[in-house]
């Protein structure tokens, strides 16, 4: 089974690059979509959230969030942000 994640990114976004690397290191196939006004509206309608930052990661039709949320999902209690 191929694990897939969609990463909504912005220009020159360091955290976007980091989250893509984290996902790839955990065997996810990553689809990258550059964020724009229409994408923000689509995410708001689809997930009932206001997107203000990138990256935003969707896995299995669930909005996970940004880097910290993805790291917590991948690493659980050993995530650096949980220390």
Task: Tell me the per-residue pLDDT of 34-52, one tens digit each, with 9 for 90 and over.
Answer: 999 999 999 999 999 998 9
Hey, how many other C-beta atoms are within 10 angstroms of the C-beta on 58? 19
Place of tokens 């209690």: 77
Number of domains present in the structure of the chain: 1
Q: Is the dihedral of CA 42, 48, 79, 76 positive or negative?
A: negative
Confidence band for 8, pLDDT divided at 50, 70 and 90: very high
Confidence band for 57, pLDDT divided at 50, 70 and 90: very high
pLDDT more than 70, % of the chain: 92
Task: Tell me the per-residue pLDDT of 68-81, one tens digit each, with 9 for 90 and over.
Answer: 999 999 887 665 55
Domain that holds residue 32: 3-82
- What pLDDT shows up at residue 25? 94
**Any idea what the CATH number is for the domain that residue 69 is in?**
3.40.30.10
- What pLDDT shows up at residue 1? 79
Give the span between the Cα atoms of 62 and 54, in whole angstroms: 16
């Amino acid at each position: 089974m191929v694990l897939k994640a969609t990463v909504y990114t912005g220009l020159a976004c360091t955290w976007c690059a980091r989250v893509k690397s984290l996902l790839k290191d955990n065997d996810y196939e990553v689809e990258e979509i550059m964020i724009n006004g229409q994408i923000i509206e689509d995410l708001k309608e689809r997930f009932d959230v206001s997107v203000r930052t990138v990256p935003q990661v969707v896995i299995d039709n669930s909005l996970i969030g940004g880097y910290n949320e993805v790291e917590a999902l991948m690493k659980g209690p050993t995530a650096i942000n949980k220390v």
